[in-house]
Amino acid sequence: MAFFYSEPSRTFNEYLLIPNLTRKDCISENVVLKTPIVRFKEGEKSPLEINLPFASAIMQSVSDHNMAIALARCGGISFIYASQPVEKQAEMVSKVKKYKAGFVISDSNLTPENTLEDVVSLKEKTGHSTIAVTENGLPTGRLLGIVTSRDYRLSRYPLSMKVKEFMTPFSSLIYGKEGVTLKEANDMIWAHKLNCLPIIDNNQNLLYLVFRKDYDSHKENPNELLDRNKRLITGAGINTRDYRERVPALVDAGVDILCIDSSDGYSEWQNDTIRYIKEEYNGAVKVGAGNVVDREGFLYLAEAGADFVKVGIGGGSICITREQKGIGRGQATAVIEVAQARDEYFKKTGIYVPICSDGGIVHDYHIVLALAMGADFVMLGRYFARFDESPGRKLKVGGNFVKEYWGEGSNRARNWQRYDLGSGQKLEFEEGVDSYVPYAGKLKDNLDITVSKIKSTMCNCGALTIKELQKNARISLVSATSIIEGGAHDVILKESDFSS
């Protein structure tokens, strides 16, 4: 006879936090959100921790190198999507590892033979007024000059004029050489009253641009997630099909941690993938696994050697797995049960395996609930897809700006490996939708607000760390009517007036 759970599975919307005593030291500036994401033994420190408990989802519409750079600079981690050719994913990882705070790889480049019309077109496309002029038009080509808005006047110069006729030539440029530190570069910028300083190698090839405006930006990111070599940390997704080719390429590119991307992690394919990575690299390469929603799934992956376990099936805003297959579980119930299994495993073995809550988060306070229920960090898709740094196109629909957001189970993603059950190389049916999300601007601006909410809520719960929150939080199940009571009700809301 089938096994029946006596209790219904529940979502984060069905719970609220009950305040604890707010001590005088419970102020936001004292809250520390650092959290482990890799297994460790009792009494030891995790080999990899993140400064904010945020990971961006392993999705085409969310996590590329731009998102990985932006999120790592804020203290979180991205897992660059796996549903692309191996070499392209490895290239994205490499771009993150080569990025230096303040050292920007030029993405606005032309050749001397291009025209003023090309300059105008490129400026409209990128929004950048500084254009590097290289011999081949590539960001790492031989630097021949720089074009800024001070080098031309549209009212006086014909659009057909060639770049070489009005650019500032290399002979007139002040530049830095390979190996210069950011401090030295900034000192040169201030000493020579520059807005931009190109950095070149011994063959005059362009390496980076350092901008005056980035000086303050560097100071504004104290939580940057860096490895021992002061490079940004990034993760990458893998699948259980081509891992023997994909993993070595990602490791060579410098990836810090991997994660198997699958809608169902309780499988022998994941066991084989984990064991291959652990044996091939003697445990040095870290890999998370999932997704699971119960005790059995967690224990299976933990015993296989997973460094963290991802929790959640069917709770994502673009996921229709529950509709299509009837598989899944309410996210809150899944996190609670897996966290209990994690704690039992720790007590029995002395090994702590972090868990990641993936899906089901609609409001910022749901993040605090997920952490309080036992998650060490959360993975978000829709949340990050709204920002400038996500790969999706920004469009205007119905008078409002939106960004494209599609699921890995959609036909658009064509990520059959994520849902593969050994039946063949095609997507038999969709488990995700193609959609839009409201455009929200820059990642950092929005993440700062979310972090402020999380810290404030934790203070109300009398907790200054995630572990303290998990130990002391008091959580109440709520009724449908109390959920209604929690929002604005029985009033006539004024329309927001943004004109003033």
- Give catalytic residues, as residue numbers: 319, 418
Strand 77-80 and strand 109-110: pairing? unpaired
What is residue 113's DSSP assignment? Answer: T
Rounded CA-CA distance 341/359 in Å is: 19
Rounded CA-CA distance 341/299 in Å is: 7
| Residue 290 DSSP SS3 | strand
Rounded CA-CA distance 27/159 in Å is: 58
Rounded CA-CA distance 39/370 in Å is: 19
Rounded CA-CA distance 398/402 in Å is: 10
Please classify residue 453 by burial: count the beta carbons closer than 10 Å to its beta carbon, then call 0-12 exposed, 13-18 middle and 19+ buried: middle
Q: Which alpha helices (DSSP H) does 65-181 contain, by range? A: 65-74, 86-98, 116-126, 163-166
Which whole-number Å values give the CA distances from 198 to 146, 205, 215, 452, in the listed order?
Answer: 9, 10, 15, 37
What is residue 293's DSSP assignment? Answer: -
Contact 81, 404 (CB under 8 A): no
| Full strand arrangement of the beta sheet holding 176-177 | 176-177, 196-200, 206-211
**CA end-to-end span of the chain:** 66
Residue partners of 108: CB distance under 8 A and separation at least 6: 122, 123, 126, 128, 130, 131, 132
Contact 495, 63 (CB under 8 A): no
Q: 337-341: which pairs have CB atoms within 8 A and are 24 or more residues apart?
A: 337/293, 337/294, 337/295, 338/292, 338/293, 338/294, 338/295, 338/297, 338/298, 338/309, 338/311, 338/374, 339/373, 339/374, 339/375, 339/470, 340/295, 340/374, 341/294, 341/295, 341/298, 341/299
Contact 146, 168 (CB under 8 A): yes
